[in-house]
Amino acid sequence: MEPVKTFAGKAVALPIDNIDTDQVIPAKYLKVTDKSGLGEGLFSVWRYNEDGSPNPDFVLNRPECAGATILVAGRNFGSGSSREHAPWALQDYGFKAVIAPSFADIFRGNALKIGLLPIAVDEEVYHQLVSMCEEDPSTTITIDLPNQKIVLEGNQEIGFNIDPFAKHCLMEGVDQLGFLLKEKDNVLSFEAKNPSRINTLAPAANACIY
């Protein structure tokens, strides 16, 4: 994983609340066994007309919004499914961060795991960002992960919270799995003290086997 520190990017606003993971990436794109096609599937219901041609009214399709790497969206972004395909799709499209008043829990965790920054701001800031992006599609925002702040043109700074461990992994460019693999001794000790009550490899004698 590439370390994430400070970066600046063009911001685009999708000022809709409760954008659910079915809108981010519909189920038909989830049949892949890798991560192919997800960028194309991002917001597909909004992006494409019925015949597959791009919908010119959708903000991401406007030429002046091309190359945006920061998405500004409404409350409870990413609600619904646990599909990690949702942050994968955003990342594959080119987004590096989503700024919103709030995020659904599972989406936030998934996004942090893959290096897509979920940045929560208060409602006032959200509305300000939406106005800025809508008035000027070339609006750039700088995201400073080490200092946990976003910096707007004109040097207005807004702090944000982030889980400290997730932040550490993102800044170092390390996968969280590495931390868990190092916990082997603690895991063995836990297992020794807590024998399991089930064994999926051995159903009761009188039960039907697979």
Partner 1 sequence: MTAPQTLFDKVWNAHIVRPQTAETPGVIYIDLHLIHEVTSPQAFTQLREKGLKVRRPDLTLATMDHSTPTTPRNELGIIPVLDPVAANQLNQLEKNCAEFGIPLFKLGSENQGIVHIIGPEQGLTQPGMTIVCGDSHTSTHGAFGALAFGIGTSEVAHVLATQCLIQNRPKTCAVRVDGTLRPGVTAKDIILGIIAKYGTGGGTGYVFEYMGSAIRALSMEERMTICNMSIEGGARAGMIAPDDTTINYIAGRPFAPQGEAWERAVAYWRTLPTDEGAVFDHEMTLNADELVPMITYGTNPGMGIPIDKPVPTFDDMPDAGSRQELDKALKYMELEPGKPLLGHKIDMVFIGSCTNGRISDLRQAANFLKGRKIADNVRVMVVPGSQRVRAQAEKEGLDKIFKEAGAEWREAGCSACLAMNDDKVPPGKYAVSTSNRNFVGRQGPGARTFLASPLTAAASAVTGKVTDPRTMLS
Residues that bind partner 1 (CB under 8 A): 16-18, 20, 22-23, 26-28, 30-35, 45, 74-76, 79-85, 87, 102, 104-106, 109-110, 113-114, 163-165, 176-177, 179-181, 183-184, 186-187, 190-191, 194, 196-204, 207-208, 210
Least distance CB 89 / partner 1 (angstroms): 13
Residue 145 and residue 2 in contact, taking contact as beta carbons nearer than 8 Å: no
Least distance CB 22 / partner 1 (angstroms): 4
Q: H or E element: which one contains 46?
A: helix 44-47
Task: Select 64 or 191, whichever has its Cβ closest to partner 1.
Answer: 191
Task: Select 9 or 59, whichever has its Cβ closest to partner 1.
Answer: 59
Burial class (CB in 10 A: 0-12, 13-18, 19+), 94: middle
Task: Select 135 or 201, whichever has its Cβ closest to partner 1.
Answer: 201
Least distance CB 144 / partner 1 (angstroms): 22
Burial class (CB in 10 A: 0-12, 13-18, 19+), 13: buried
Least distance CB 8 / partner 1 (angstroms): 27
Q: What is the CA radius of gyration of the chain?
A: 20
Least distance CB 27 / partner 1 (angstroms): 5
**Phi-psi group of 159: left, alpha or beta (phi > 0 → left; psi -120 to 50 → alpha; rest → beta):** beta
**Among 166, 127, 126, which residue's Cα sits nearest to residue 148?**
166
